[in-house]
A and B are shown apart, each in its own frame.
Chain A
């Protein structure tokens, strides 16, 4: 078995203490469920001298509905709990579905929503042991200079691989962070940057407290589609989150599609709302519009061979999964997954 590097483990019981412990140590990292950090530490991708566990900070757990009907999901809520929550399933079906397809059952029980939002980007040249990366000559994301995905590339193109992120983007979620400097909220759309080395606007000493999902309109429909090799365990080769808000007459009032696992940040398909607006699910015009939306997504997505799997094939699957996930959302179904 690979060994974990040595570190000091802190187990605060309050958020305030956790924030203080993080601020004290210049290279401290947070561990929530550990399903991302622990293997990454075994691969020597991170070698913090201190790890602050949030496992005992109970104020970070739970799903609450606010007076305005919005949802506040504690960052330490397990993915399994989010997936099973009646509140989330009713108000944010795409998020419940995305969380239900993260990894496998054991990992969803350990893994948290906050951990998934903050998941490190992934790449076949990066998520490997120290020995392997040394034999390769390392890469720009860790310990090296060059990119093995794009020859001569200047930017890291490791892929955003969190299933929850595109779903939260379609839902207009806000992330709330805490640090010694106080609290701040950031719209999830503004959270990402196109840099595979670190694709998020977060400081090392900030703790993600909760994820806020605003109340969805009456006719909200959502779904998530995930392409992966196996029926469980695997990270996405492609993730598609869909939002369709229907008006009182059952026509599309607002449509949104965000795809992930292609590049360093999740990507919103542009001009999609115009294609689907006013269409009534079930009609043949809607199906034509869905096909057009799928073609639009195909034109806008050009995945690189960053994660395992055939990049061309992942591109081929963009229109297929966009179409299937849109149709599933329209029917109030989903997730779209091969098993």
Chain B
């Protein structure tokens, strides 16, 4: 059911009251608690996919294409098969059915069929007694390729259809193109007092989770295939396995073990999951495949490079009148989530500011590079960067304070965006207030000394989407509770805990609702045999949807407990309160039971105790093709202020402080929320200054290792200051919205804006390497027209 049905027109935690943080007396929610798996992770006891060792288990390795674009003429694996210790070798013809996470664009094969599309595309897989034997066998597989022209520049893919990277498509090498216009943009622009038009470039970046992808499969004598995989979407892997392996889904069980980071990079079904499953079927042995770091870089699905052209107009008092965007998206070699990315690149920009008119024209093309996909802030980090820099350019033209122009254009709460999305709670103004106050913007801006400045940016992001990837009207999220006579409550959820703490979140909610200590709750998650379906950890949907489903289940169970106790006490149910391991009579506090006693009473009265709960989104979205993509039951809002300086001799940027104010609705556990905010901002600053998923002139990843892909170390990490803003959303669980992706967005533009404030150069092409900064500084010195801009205070 939807949250509105669930909680009624007045949610039990009430609407947001300005100035009041809580209007319900929570015992668990809103406080800092350890994560339920924190100790296991800290001590090394947690079991990750690669920790799984089964008897007789084989090790599998993947042969990959050394060519960016080629036709496979012939594969001869006979020598590899003959090698002692090799149990099976498979190639594309063993799994010819295509798949793709978006059902409309199935264009991937577990192993290449007929052709390869990037350096690293999987071609064959070997299962052998150990890794070294499997690696040796790979070298014995003889593949004859016919080389094809490789597309490395997205602009070429836009105009050249042959040779097609994916054959038989009428759009040639264009993956997806979306044009949407809301209102009369051209007329609005021509009436604007000021117009800014500029180009912005986002390079590629990747997730780099510490745990590489790993999968283990085993096939039971009864014909049940069990797959453990480091995935963040168990349900889609389950569906894809059934499709590709042509097995009934009820004979497949998918389990996500403890996961070492994902950030969107483990959202697609991946080659290794199909390969270990197929190899287990063929050999009758358990099979494991662990990718190397290099293979993780090839699997990629990271942030799309985008070339963005924006034109924005405003009135002389700073009111936006129109925003016009044209975006070229480099998708790499496969569709992945690309259909959604293309929509998101336009659809998610329409807040927190009111756009009277808006148009976007986004085109995603295929190139012969590792495939891009969803990375934290999917599809919207790039346009947000461009637009928030452009907003500062407008502010400068109008001589407006950058925070002030953002305030003036605030869209308000409980409103509708220009593209028809429903916005509920919206704490953006408070976010701006918070970063302005905490950074001492008014006192410090312009007085920080030479080459140091402050920059601001804002953003909004979805808390889940009502677009369920494959069309269906079933709940997006289901939860089941089971009560043991010991007083233990087990929560079964399909939700994927990828380190963001969703299992902990479930435990906190059960503890709150049933009034029992957190340690009396166990969470069993992401096991398709045991857990009801949840659509997985993507689009920042888990807290919102699994949280609501958990509340739903808890309230059903609580009703039974209360009824049983009320009957025993011969009192009205309203007098029965579950709190801190006890059940008390509110009117006669001398009367109480332990929760365990209450469970026993309820089991006696009602039969075996348990409950299910679910969540589905209300009907949302604009009434046009694609109008539901980007439609979310609630949106989070963020503002950052960045304090940064430039060494004008070396061009090196130092980020001193990042103030992150984020409206997460309600912080169910403020410690975890602050961690997500800091981690998001870390990732944003990392992409702005260091990380570059760069493909060189040969189509090779420039440096697929954690040495050459420069993740910032602790020494390179600025101070992050998390400022939690709680707008108490009427439909979120206790008013909560997302906190894991939104707080990334403003880091990059706020940094660019801070650099302009510091030294008067507009950084519009990411990443901001010292070489680029130095070049811009030289250009500014050489040009008298530029010399007076910014950084002059």
Residues of A participating in the B interface, judged by any CB pair closer than 8 Å: 1-3, 6, 104, 124, 128-129, 131-132, 134-136, 227, 229-234, 308, 310, 312-313, 316-317, 320, 338-339
> Is the Cβ of B131 less than 8 Å from the Cβ of A104?
no
Q: Is the CB of A313 within 8 A of B770?
A: yes
Contact residue among A3, A308, A313, A339 (Cβ-Cβ distance under 8 Å from B771) = A313
For residue B125, CB closer than 8 A to chain A, the reply is no
Q: Type the 1/0 row for B48-72, where 1 means its CB is closer than 8 Å to any CB of A.
A: 0000000000000000101100000
Asked if A231 and B716 sit within 8 Å, CB to CB, the answer is yes
CB atoms of B131 and A3 under 8 A apart = yes
B294 at the interface (CB under 8 A from A): yes
Contact indicator B703/A308 (Cβ below 8 Å) = yes
Contact status B690-A230, CB under 8 Å: yes
Contacts of A227 in B (CB 8 A): 650
B698 at the interface (CB under 8 A from A): yes
Q: Report yes or no: A308 in contact with B702, Cβ–Cβ below 8 A.
A: yes
B299 within 8 A of A: no
Indicate whether A131 sits within 8 Å of B64 (C-beta atoms), given known contacts A2-B292, A124-B703, A310-B769.
yes
Q: Are B704 and A132 in contact (CB under 8 A)?
A: yes
From the candidates B66, B132, B135, B716, name the one contacting A230 in the complex (CB within 8 A). B716
> Do A230 and B700 form a contact, CB below 8 Å, given A1-B290, A3-B131, A135-B66?
no
- B774: CB under 8 A from chain A? yes
13 contacts between A and B (CB under 8 A): A1-B212, A2-B293, A104-B713, A128-B703, A128-B704, A129-B294, A131-B66, A132-B294, A136-B698, A136-B700, A227-B650, A230-B690, A313-B770
* A124 adjacent to B712 (CB under 8 Å): no
Contacts of A320 in B (CB 8 A): 649-650
A129 to B700, CA, bound (A): 12
Name the distance in Å between B493's Cβ and chain A's nearest Cβ.
Answer: 32
CB atoms of B132 and A234 under 8 A apart: no
Please, which residues of chain A bring their CB within 8 A of the CB of B770?
313
B710 located at the interface, meaning its Cβ lies under 8 Å from any Cβ of chain A in the complex:
yes
A103's nearest neighbour on chain B, judged by CB, is B707
Nearest CB in chain A: distance from B58 CB, A? 16
Contact among B652, B713, B715, B771 with A310 in the assembled complex (CB-CB below 8 Å): B771
Which A-chain residue is minimally distant from B712 (CB atoms)? A230
- Which chain B residues border A128 with CB–CB below 8 Å? 703-704
The minimal Cβ–Cβ distance linking B683 to chain A, given in whole angstroms, is 15
Chain B residues near A136 (CB-CB < 8 A): 698, 700
**Most chain A Cβ neighbours within 10 Å, of B119, B132, B647, B713:** B713
Which listed residue, A3, A104, A131, A229, touches B710 by the CB 8 Å rule? A229
Knowing A310-B771, A313-B774, A320-B650, say if A134 contacts B66 (CB, 8 Å): yes
A135 with B119, Cβ < 8 A, contacts A129-B294, A310-B769 known = yes
Closest CB-CB distance, B462 to chain A, in whole Å? 33
B127-144: which have CB < 8 Å to A? 131-132, 135
CB A316 to nearest CB in B, in angstroms, measures 6
Contact B710 A124, beta carbon cutoff 8 Å: no
Cβ distance A110 to chain B, nearest Cβ, rounded Å: 15
Nearest CB of chain A from residue B488's CB, rounded to whole Å: 38
Given contacts A232-B716, A338-B652, 19 further A-B contacts (CB under 8 A): A2-B293, A6-B132, A104-B713, A124-B708, A128-B704, A131-B64, A131-B66, A132-B294, A132-B700, A135-B119, A135-B700, A136-B698, A136-B700, A227-B650, A230-B712, A230-B715, A313-B769, A316-B774, A320-B650
Closest residue to A339 on the B side, CB-wise? B715
Q: How far is the CB of B52 from chain A (nearest CB, A)?
A: 16
A8 to B: closest C-beta gap in Å? 16
> What's the nearest-Cβ distance from chain B to residue A131, in Å?
7
Q: Which A residues are CB-close (under 8 A) to B690?
A: 229-230
Residue of B nearest to A319 (CB): B649
The 4 closest A-B pairs by CB, nearest first: A231-B715, A135-B66, A313-B771, A310-B771
Count of residues in B whose CB is under 8 Å from the partner chain:
36
Whether A234 and B774, one on each chain, are in contact in the complex, defined by CB atoms closer than 8 angstroms, is no
Name the B residues within 8 Å of A312 (CB-CB). 771
- Bound-state CA distance A74–B771 (Å) is 40
- Residues A231 and B713 in contact in the complex (CB < 8 Å), given A131-B64, A313-B774: yes
- Would you list which residues of chain B between 155 and 188 have a CB under 8 Å from chain A? none
Q: Distance (Å) between the CB of B695 and the closest chain A CB?
A: 12
A317's nearest neighbour on chain B, judged by CB, is: B650
Provide the bound-state CA to CA distance between A251 and B186, in Å: 71
Contacts of A1 on B, CB cut-off 8 Å?
A: 212, 290, 292-293
Report the separation of the CA atoms of residues A313 and B131 in the bound assembly, to the nearest whole angstrom: 42
CB distance from B360 to the nearest CB of A (A): 33
Tell me if A232 and B132 are in contact (CB < 8 A): no
Q: For A131, what are the chain B residues with a Cβ–Cβ distance below 8 Å?
A: 64, 66, 294
Cα-based distance from A88 to B713 in the complex (angstroms): 28
Q: Measured between C-beta atoms, what is the minimum distance from B121 to chain A in Å?
A: 11
Question: A2-B292, A132-B700 given as contacts; is B650 within 8 A of A233 (CB)?
Answer: no
For B687-713 the 0/1 string (1 means CB < 8 A from A) is 000100000001011111001101011
- Complex: A310 Cα to B771 Cα, angstroms: 7
Most central of A135, A230, A233, A320 by chain B CB within 10 Å? A135
Are B135 and A135 in touch, CB under 8 angstroms? no
Shortest Cβ distance from A323 into B: residue: B649
**Residues of chain B contacted by A129 (CB below 8 angstroms):** 292, 294, 704
Q: Are B710 and A230 in contact (CB under 8 A)?
A: yes
Interface residues of B in 371-418 (CB under 8 A from A): none
A317 to chain B: which residues have CB within 8 Å? 650
Question: Closest CB-CB distance, A271 to chain B, in whole Å?
Answer: 24
Per the 8 Å Cβ criterion, residues 222-240 of B in contact with A are none
- B370 shortest CB reach to chain A, Å: 13
> Is A124 a contact of B702 with CB atoms below 8 Å?
yes
Provide the bound-state CA to CA distance between A104 and B774, in Å: 27
Q: Is A338 touching B647 in the complex (CB atoms < 8 A)? A: yes
Question: Smallest CB–CB gap between B771 and chain A, Å?
Answer: 4
Q: Which residue in chain A gives the minimum CB-CB distance to B50? A: A1
Q: Bound state CA distance, A233 and B67, in angstroms? A: 31
Q: Which residues of B contact A232 (CB under 8 A)?
A: 713, 715-716
Task: List the A side residues contacting B652 at CB < 8 Å.
Answer: 338
Residue on B with the closest CB to A6? B132
Cα distance, A234 to B712, chains bound together (Å): 11
Given A135-B67, A135-B119, do A233 and B700 touch, yes or no (CB 8 Å)? Answer: no
Kindly state the separation between the CA atoms of A128 and B131 in the bound complex, as whole angstroms.
20
B-chain residues with CB within 8 Å of residue A6 when the two chains form the complex: 132
Taking CB atoms and an 8 Å cut-off, the chain B residues in 667-702 that contact chain A are: 690, 698, 700-702
Smallest Cβ distance from B696 to chain A, in angstroms? 9
List of B residues within 8 angstroms of A339 by Cβ: 715-716
Interface residues of B in 107-151 (CB under 8 A from A): 119, 131-132, 135
Residue of A whose beta carbon sits closest to that of B68: A135
Q: A226 to B771, alpha carbons, bound, how many Å?
A: 16
- Give A232 to B710 CA distance when docked, in angstroms: 10
Asked whether A234 lies within 8 Å of B700 as measured between CB atoms, the reply is no
Minimal Cβ-Cβ distance residue in B for A324: B649
- CB proximity of A104 to chain B, nearest CB, Å: 7
Taking a contact as CB atoms under 8 Å apart, the answer to whether A3 and B774 are in contact is: no
Give the CA-CA distance A36 to B12 in the complex, in Å: 62
Residue of A nearest to B291 (CB): A1
A93→B321 CA distance, assembly (Å): 62
Chain A residue contacts of B701, Cβ below 8 A: 132
- Interface contact A233-B769, CB-CB below 8 Å: no
Cα(A231)–Cα(B718), bound, Å: 12
Bound-state Cα–Cα, A232 to B706, Å: 13
Which residues of chain B in 483-534 are interfacial with respect to chain A, using CB atoms and an 8 Å cutoff? Answer: none
Is the Cβ of A135 less than 8 Å from the Cβ of B698?
yes
Kindly identify, within residues 287 to 323 of chain B, every residue whose CB is under 8 Å from any CB belonging to chain A: 290, 292-294
In the complex, what residue of chain B is closest to A5 when comparing beta carbons?
B132
* A233 engages B707 (CB within 8 Å): yes
Q: Give the Cβ gap from B746 to chain A, nearest Cβ, in Å.
A: 23
Chain B nearest CB from A128 CB (Å) reads 8
Residues of A within 8 A of B64 (CB): 131
- The residues of A that contact B66 with a CB separation of less than 8 Å are 131, 134-135
Residue among B132, B708, B769 having the largest count of chain A Cβ atoms under 10 Å: B708
